[in-house]
């Protein structure tokens, strides 16, 4: 009894699959013929041209291809005749008449194709409807309307949920039955538990091990961080590694400190408004350290540079010049950074004649040297752009200019480019009495600083290093406050 039933189910499934394949093929065929009907309708309405006629339609009408070829030949002959004669010429009139006949034939053939395509589409549509009706009858969907179908689907989902709940209930009932039939074994107390020392873990040993491990990790981590630290953080490190002193340490100013009467002020002018500030005191320390670098012959021409860009060497150079000027000295500031004249931009002189124009003879000294009465400072801006800054700075006129400034002024500060990227600072260093390197605190790589120091250390003219952008909070970790701790505050108030 079971075997025939199983064969009948397999046969029905096979028939259903075949019927479904026929339904898909019928839908595809109907869609293709519907597209042909739409195209012929557009062609008759003038929305399409014969040039866009699909290959499937051309193959169904061999006459249409021949008519199109005849029309093309007639058009070609008409164009050739019109190139030589007018439209009243007999041959031209004959060709035009022939074209009209061909066009009428094409229109008639198009109408015939339209009727044929419509007939094919009607047959395909009827075939599709028949197969679709057979599919609905086979699947039982034909006898149900939309409301019955929705109710059937809802009942099926409800039955599935109830089946799942029933299975879960049977499983829990089985577990409950097993627990109810389980009987615990009889037990008896051999010896009551007594209070005593904890056997495991050994607290003293664990705490001691954790303490030693934490101490080792802390010391090791501090050592690794110290080894990975790129720059110098204390004068002792600089003196031991490079053999030169740290002349001064300038702390980083906050943005809130650089506001005066609601307006932002450049960093070099901060000391003008706050002469008793730690910033001003660090610049006075720098001047004093430069003077003490050669007590017998106090330096007059001071070159300021750095190992790399962005370390604030222009800010230190301008600030040093202003500090010396306010100390009563006759000071000249020379912007020898011909590539990026930052000092000229601070005084808004980047478009004026300057050092390049003076050295090339394009301007005289009285047009180049600019005196600022409020700052008591003479400025020599960079001037025009130069394609060969090293040649200009190494010229005899540059040597003569430095010599003249040495005789005229008490203090000459020369701002040059960084040593790392270009050679300009090395050339001008031979003309200066002393050179100072501005170093970004805890940032400038040690190897780079050592290499730069060797480049400008000819004839022992390097006075020392200036720490810039010192982070006061981090500096305390290294045992230094660098003119800014709370213990110094009483000395910086009026």
pLDDT tens for each residue of 84-100: 888 888 888 888 888 88
Residue 492 has pLDDT above 70, yes or no: no
pLDDT of 473 reads 78
pLDDT of 57 reads 60
φ, ψ for residue 483 (rounded to 5)?
Answer: 55, 65
Residue 197 has pLDDT above 50, yes or no: yes
pLDDT digit string (tens) for 1-23? 444 433 333 335 677 777 778 77
Asked whether 307 and 448 are in contact (CB, 8 A), the reply is yes
CA dihedral 100, 62, 57, 132 (to 10 degrees): 130
Residue 184 has pLDDT above 50, yes or no: yes
Asked whether 290 and 283 are in contact (CB, 8 A), the reply is no
Residue 365 has pLDDT above 90, yes or no: yes
Asked whether 336 and 382 are in contact (CB, 8 A), the reply is yes
**Angle, helix 90-139 to helix 62-82, in steps of 10 degrees:** 150
For residue 127 the two structure tokens come to 């075939």
pLDDT digit string (tens) for 58-73? 555 567 777 778 888 8
Do β-strands 331-335 and 246-251 pair in parallel, antiparallel, or remain unpaired?
Answer: unpaired
Angle of CA points 60, 64, 68, to nearest 5°: 145
Q: Minimal CA–CA distance to 436: which of 410, 400, 462?
A: 462
For residue 66 the two structure tokens come to 């021949």
Cα–Cα distance, 279 to 272 (Å, whole number): 11
Considering the chain, what percentage of its residues have pLDDT values greater than 70? Answer: 83
Helix (H) or strand (E) holding 15: helix 2-45
Domains in the chain (CATH in brackets) are 2-149 (no CATH), 227-492 (3.40.50.300)
Cα–Cα distance, 357 to 139 (Å, whole number): 99
Asked whether 57 and 113 are in contact (CB, 8 A), the reply is yes
Cα–Cα distance, 175 to 168 (Å, whole number): 11
Instruction: Give the predicted TM-score (pTM) of the model.
Output: 0.56
pLDDT of 124 reads 80
For residue 266 the two structure tokens come to 């450049």
Helix (H) or strand (E) holding 427: helix 424-429
Residue 243 has pLDDT above 60, yes or no: yes
Do β-strands 331-335 and 462-470 pair in parallel, antiparallel, or remain unpaired?
Answer: unpaired
Q: Minimal CA–CA distance to 320: which of 492, 468, 440?
A: 468
């Amino acid at each position: 009894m079971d075997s025939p039933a199983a064969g009948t189910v397999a046969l029905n499934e096979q028939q259903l699959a075949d019927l479904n394949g026929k339904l898909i093929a019928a839908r595809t065929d109907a869609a293709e013929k519907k597209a042909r009907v739409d195209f012929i309708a557009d062609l008759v309405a003038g929305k399409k041209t014969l040039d866009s006629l699909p290959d499937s339609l051309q193959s169904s009408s061999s006459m249409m291809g021949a008519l199109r070829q005849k029309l093309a030949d007639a058009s070609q002959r008409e164009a050739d005749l019109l190139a030589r004669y007018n439209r009243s010429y007999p041959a031209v009139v004959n060709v035009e008449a022939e074209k009209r006949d061909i066009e009428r034939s094409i229109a008639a053939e198009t109408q015939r194709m339209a009727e044929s395509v419509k007939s094919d589409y009607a047959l395909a549509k009827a075939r599709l409807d028949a197969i679709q009706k057979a599919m609905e009858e086979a699947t039982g969907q034909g006898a149900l309307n939309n409301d019955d179908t929705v109710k059937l689907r809802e009942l099926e989902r409800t039955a599935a949920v109830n089946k799942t709940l029933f299975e879960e209930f049977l499983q829990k009932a089985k577990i409950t039955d097993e627990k109810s039939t389980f009987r615990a074994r009889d037990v008896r107390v051999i010896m009551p538990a007594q209070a005593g020392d904890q056997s495991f873990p050994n607290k003293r040993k664990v705490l001691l091990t954790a303490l030693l491990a934490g101490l080792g990790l802390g010391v090791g981590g501090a050592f690794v961080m110290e080894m990975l630290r790129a720059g110098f953080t204390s004068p002792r490190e600089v003196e031991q590694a490079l053999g030169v002193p740290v002349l001064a340490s300038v702390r980083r100013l906050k943005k809130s400190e650089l506001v005066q009467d609601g307006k932002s002020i450049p960093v070099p002018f901060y000391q003008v408004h706050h002469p008793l500030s730690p910033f001003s005191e660090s610049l006075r320390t720098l001047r004093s350290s430069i003077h003490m670098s050669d007590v017998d012959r106090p330096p007059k021409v001071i070159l300021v540079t750095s190992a790399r860009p962005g370390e604030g060497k222009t800010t230190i150079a301008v600030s040093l010049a202003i500090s010396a000027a306010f100390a009563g000295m006759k000071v000249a500031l020379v912007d020898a950074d011909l590539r990026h004249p930052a000092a000229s931009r601070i005084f808004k002189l980047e478009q004026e004649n300057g050092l390049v124009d003076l050295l090339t003879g394009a301007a005289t000294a009285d047009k180049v040297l600019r005196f600022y009465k409020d700052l008591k400072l003479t400025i020599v801006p960079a001037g025009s752009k130069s394609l060969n800054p090293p040649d200009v700075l190494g010229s005899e006129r540059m040597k003569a200019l430095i010599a003249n400034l040495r005789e005229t002024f008490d203090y000459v500060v020369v701002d040059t480019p960084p040593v790392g990227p270009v050679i300009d600072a090395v050339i001008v260093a031979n003309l200066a009495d002393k050179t100072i390197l501005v170093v970004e605190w805890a940032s400038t790589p040690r190897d780079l600083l050592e290499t730069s120091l060797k480049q400008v250390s000819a004839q022992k003219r390097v006075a020392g290093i200036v720490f810039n952008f010192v982070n006061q909070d981090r500096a305390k970790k290294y045992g230094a406050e660098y003119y800014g701790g709370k213990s110094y505050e009483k000395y910086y108030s009026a």
